Amino acid sequence: MTPTQKNERARQVLATRRLRIRRIRRRIAAGGAAAFIAVFTVIAADGSMGSSSTTATASQAAQVTSTTSSNTTSSNAASSSSKSSSSDNAGSGAGSTSVTTSQS
């Protein structure tokens, strides 16, 4: 083989190698993009993380508020006859919350 033929053969080998590496890189990029899309599709289908617990927390807070309001009424009646409990009313309007504390 002459040096010119060796150079031509080396160029062909390097060109083949470049093409193979390019294909591998494209496959890796396509796989990463597909995984990214799949993950965010699942998140979008299920909703944002924590949304179900927020709804449950809001529901529990509403139940606690209504329970606290009924307990405050009974505590207010008891505090007039005994000094062992005190009641701190934030307001009497709609949406206001009452805090009841007792001393021992």
Each residue's pLDDT tens digit, 14-53: 999 999 999 999 999 999 999 999 999 999 988 766 555 5
25 domain residue, yes or no = yes
Collapsing DSSP to helix, strand or coil, 100 comes out as strand
91 domain residue, yes or no = no
12 domain residue, yes or no = yes
67 domain residue, yes or no = no
- Give the chain's mean pLDDT: 73
78 domain residue, yes or no = no
Contact at 8 Å (CB) between 65 and 97?
A: yes
73 domain residue, yes or no = no
pLDDT at 90 over 50: no
Q: How many domains does the structure of the chain reveal?
A: 1
15 domain residue, yes or no = yes
Domain range for 22 is 1-45
19 domain residue, yes or no = yes
**Overall pTM > 0.95:** no
